[in-house]
Amino acid sequence: MLPLCLSTQPVSKKLFIRTYGCQMNVYDSTRMADVLAPLGYDTALRVEDADMVILNTCHIRERAEEKVFSELGRLRDLKEARQHEGGGLLIAVAGCVAQAEGAEIQARAPYVDIVLGPQTYHRLPEMVARASRAGQKVLDTDFPVEPKFDHLPAPSAQGPSAFLSVQEGCDKFCTFCVVPYTRGAEYSRPVASVLAEAERLVETGVREITLLGQNVNGYHGPGPDGSAWSLGRLIRHLARMPGLDRIRYTTSHPRDMDDDLIAAHRDVPQLMPFLHLPVQSGSDRILAEMNRQHTADDYRRLIDRLRAAQPDLALSSDFIVGFPGETDADVEATLRLVRDIGFAQAYSFKYSPRPGTPAAAIGDQIPETVKEDRLTELQRVIGEQAVAFNRGCVGRHFDVLLDRPGRHPGQLIGRSPYMQSVFVTAPEALLNTVQRLEVVTANPNSLAAKLLDQRACA
Ligand code: SAH
Ligand code: SF4
Ligand code: F3S
Per-residue DSSP letters for 204-224? TT--EEEEE-TTGGG--PBPT
pLDDT in tens, 286-321: 999 999 999 999 999 999 999 999 999 999 999 999
pLDDT in tens, 173-186: 999 999 999 999 99
* Contact (CB, 8 A) for 441 and 447: yes
Which of 216, 281, 349, 382 to mutate to test ligand 1, by most ligand atoms within 8 A of the CB atom? Answer: 349
Residue 159 scores a pLDDT above 60: yes
Residue 455 scores a pLDDT above 70: no
Sheet-wide strand order for 246-250 = 161-165, 208-212, 246-250
CA angle 29-35-38, nearest 5°? 135
Say yes or no: CB of residue 351 within 6 Å of ligand 1. Answer: yes
**158 confidence band (pLDDT: 50, 70, 90):** confident
Q: Which residues line ligand 2 (CB under 6 A)?
A: 170, 172-174, 177, 179-180, 214-215, 253
**How long is the chain?**
458
Residue 9 scores a pLDDT above 90: no
Sign for the CA dihedral angle at 167, 24, 28, 421 comes to negative
Residue 5 scores a pLDDT above 60: no
Name which of 406, 405, 402, 389 is nearest 442 in CA terms: 389
Say yes or no: CB of residue 320 within 6 Å of ligand 1. Answer: yes
**126 confidence band (pLDDT: 50, 70, 90):** very high
C-alpha 317 – ligand 2 centre gap (Å): 13
* Contact (CB, 8 A) for 138 and 117: no
pLDDT of residue 134: 77
**Which ligand 3 atom lies nearest to the CA of residue 56?**
6
425 burial (CB, 10 Å; 0-12 / 13-18 / 19+) is middle
Give the C-alpha separation, 417 to 151, whole Å: 34
- Average pLDDT on 33-40 reads 96
Give the C-alpha separation, 271 to 264, whole Å: 8
Indicate which ligand has the atom closest to the C-alpha of 359. Answer: 1
Give the C-alpha separation, 363 to 192, whole Å: 48
Say yes or no: CB of residue 94 within 6 Å of ligand 3. Answer: no
Residue 456 scores a pLDDT above 60: no
Tell me the sheet residues that pair with 91. Answer: 53
* Contact (CB, 8 A) for 435 and 399: yes
pLDDT of residue 458: 39
Sheet-wide strand order for 274-276 = 274-276, 314-321, 345-350
Distances (CA, A) of 60 to 4, 25, 78, 409: 51, 12, 27, 38
pLDDT of residue 91: 98
Sheet-wide strand order for 138-140 = 41-43, 13-19, 52-57, 90-94, 114-116, 138-140
pLDDT of residue 457: 44
Q: What are phi and psi of 135, to 5 degrees?
A: 65, 20
**163 confidence band (pLDDT: 50, 70, 90):** very high
Which of 25, 28, 63, 250 to mutate to test ligand 3, by most ligand atoms within 8 A of the CB atom? Answer: 25
Tell me the sheet residues that pair with 167. Answer: 188
C-alpha 458 – ligand 3 centre gap (Å): 45
**Which ligand 1 atom lies nearest to the CA of residue 170?**
1
**454 confidence band (pLDDT: 50, 70, 90):** low
C-alpha 352 – ligand 2 centre gap (Å): 14
Residue 147 region, left (φ>0) first, then alpha (ψ -120 to 50), else beta? beta
pLDDT in tens, 217-270: 999 999 999 999 999 999 999 999 999 999 999 999 999 999 999 999 999 999
Identity at 118, one-letter amino acid code: P
**Which ligand 2 atom lies nearest to the CA of residue 215?**
5
The verdict on whether omega for the bond into residue 182 sits within 30 degrees of 0, i.e. cis, is no
Question: Which residue CA neighbors atom 3 of ligand 3 most closely?
Answer: 22
Give the C-alpha separation, 309 to 273, whole Å: 11
- Average pLDDT on 324-345 reads 98
Tell me the sheet residues that pair with 15. Answer: 43, 52
Indicate which ligand has the atom closest to the C-alpha of 278. Answer: 1
pLDDT of residue 6: 46
Give the C-alpha separation, 16 to 55, whole Å: 9
Which of 61, 99, 170, 293 to mutate to test ligand 2, by most ligand atoms within 8 A of the CB atom? Answer: 170
The end-to-end CA distance of the chain, in Å, is: 57
Name which of 247, 258, 266 is nearest 307 in CA terms: 266
C-alpha 197 – ligand 1 centre gap (Å): 28
Which of 25, 177, 293, 374 to mutate to test ligand 1, by most ligand atoms within 8 A of the CB atom? Answer: 177
* Contact (CB, 8 A) for 245 and 160: no
C-alpha 171 – ligand 2 centre gap (Å): 8
- Average pLDDT on 341-361 reads 97
pLDDT in tens, 383-442: 999 999 999 999 999 999 999 999 888 999 999 999 999 999 999 999 999 999 999 999
